[in-house]
Amino acid sequence: MNSAHSTSGTGSPTVVVTRVSDTQWHAVEDDRTVGRGDASRRPDGRLFISIDAWHREVFDRIADAMPADLPTPLYTVVDEADHESRSAWERAGFAVARREWGYHVPTDPQATGLASMRPPSGVTILPAGEAAEGPLRALDRAIRDEVEAAVGWHTMPAEVLPRPAGTTLIDPSKYAVAQHLDQYVGLVRVAPLTRQPRIGLIAVRADRHRRGTARALLAQALGSLHRSGTASAWAEVDESNAAATALFEGIGARRTGSTLELVRH
C-alpha cells in the first residue's frame, strides 16, 4: 500500500500522509513522522480507526486521508471527558453512536449488600473454572443469539465481541456459571487484570430473567475477589441497558466515567 495524500498550509511545510500497510498510515513532515493512523477490523466485522498525532492540523490531515482509503462505516472510541478528542473526530465527520458507562464496583459483601444473597431455588453457582467446557460454550452461543436478536451484540464491550467462529468464550477458566438442575442458564466473566479486575460479561438466559440469578452470579464473583484481597472491580455498561445499570447501581457500584463510540457513515 502506498497511497499518499499531500497537503500544506500557507507558508507551512508539506505534510504527506501515506498508507504504509493495510492497517497503518504515517504523516511525514520534513522527513519526520509526525502522526500515525491505525485501522483494525473487529471480529464482528466493524472497522475501527485510531489516530496518534500531537498537533490538530496533523490529526485532521490523517482523519481526511484514512476515510478516503477505507470503506464506511468507520468507528472510533473516545473518553467522553476528552472534549478535545471528541471535537477532533466530529470535525472529521464522526457522530456519537452509543455511550458506555464505566463503574467502580466494590467487592466487600457488606458494601454490596450481597452478604446474604442466595441463588434462586434449584440454582447452583459453579465458581470460575468448575464448569464443563462443552455446556459452557453452548450457553455462550445461546446467550449471544438472544442478545443479537434483542439489542445486538455490538452493544457489548469490545472485550467480549464474538470471534470468527461465533464464540465469545476464549478462556473457560474465567467464567462462573449458574446451573439450574442439569442446565447452564447464566454466566459471569471476570478478567484478572493487574490494576483492577474487570467484569467483562454477565448474562442470563432470557427465560431465567428476573429471578435473582444475575445477582447470585455477581455475589459469587465479587465475593471471590474480596476473599483474594481485591477491594474493587471495573465494569462497563451500555447506557441503553437499563437492567444492567440497575443491577450494578443496586449493589453500590459508582459511575466514574463514560466512553463514546463514534461512527462515520
CATH number of the CATH domain containing 228: 3.40.630.30
- 124 and 249 assigned to the same domain: yes
Residue 79 lies in a domain: no
Q: Are residues 142 and 185 in the same domain?
A: yes
Asked whether residue 64 falls in the same domain as residue 179, the answer is: no
Structural domain for 125, as ranges: 101-264
Residues 251 and 139 in one domain: yes
Task: Please tell me whether residue 178 adopts helix, strand or coil conformation.
Answer: strand
Instruction: Give the residue from 20, 52, 71 where a domain finishes.
Output: 71
The strand pair at 4-7 and 15-19 is best described as antiparallel
Residue 82 lies in a domain: no
CB-CB neighbours of 113 under 10 Å: 14
Per DSSP, the chain holds a count of helices (H) and strands (E) of 6, 13
Task: Name every residue whose Cβ is closer than 8 Å to that of residue 34 and which is 6 or more positions away in sequence.
Answer: 15, 27, 28, 53, 54, 55, 58
* The amino acid at 151: V
| Residue 239 belongs to some domain of the structure | yes
What is the C-alpha separation between 162 and 169, in angstroms, rounded? Answer: 8
In 3D, which of 188, 171, 185 has the Cα closest to residue 133?
A: 171
Residue 89, in any domain of the structure: no
Report residue 73 as a C-alpha cell: 462505516
- Per-residue pLDDT 10s for the chain (265 aa) are 566 675 655 555 688 999 999 999 999 998 899 999 999 988 778 899 999 998 999 999 999 999 999 999 999 999 999 999 999 999 999 999 999 999 999 999 999 999 999 999 999 999 999 999 999 989 988 888 888 777 666 666 555 555 555 666 668 888 999 999 889 999 999 988 777 899 988 999 999 999 999 999 999 999 999 999 999 999 999 998 898 999 999 999 999 999 999 999 9
Instruction: Provide the domain count of the chain.
Output: 2
Q: Which of 212, 199, 99, 111 is nearest to 159 (CA)?
A: 199
Quick one: which of 135, 114, 115 has its CA closest to 126? 135
Same domain membership, residue 159 and residue 223: yes
119/61 same-domain check: no
Q: So what's the pLDDT on residue 162?
A: 53
Q: Are residues 124 and 250 in the same domain?
A: yes
Whole-number pLDDT of residue 31: 87
Residues 57, 112 within the same domain: no
Is 128 found in the same domain as 248?
Answer: yes
Q: Are 27 and 16 in contact (CB under 8 A)?
A: yes
Of 50, 71, 92, the position where a domain reaches its end is: 71
- Tell me whether residue 81 is in a domain: no
Please check whether residue 84 lies inside any domain of the structure.
no
The model's pTM is 0.82
Residue 148 covered by a domain: yes
- 56, 71, 86 - which closes a domain: 71
Written as nine digits, the cell of 103 is 463503574
In a shared domain, residues 220 and 181? yes
| Cα of 169 vs its chain's centroid, Å | 15
Q: Which amino acid makes up residue 215?
A: R
Residue 134, domain member (yes or no): yes
* Cβ atoms within 10 Å of 159's Cβ, excluding its own: 13
Residues 130, 56 within the same domain: no
Residues 51, 111, single domain; the answer is no
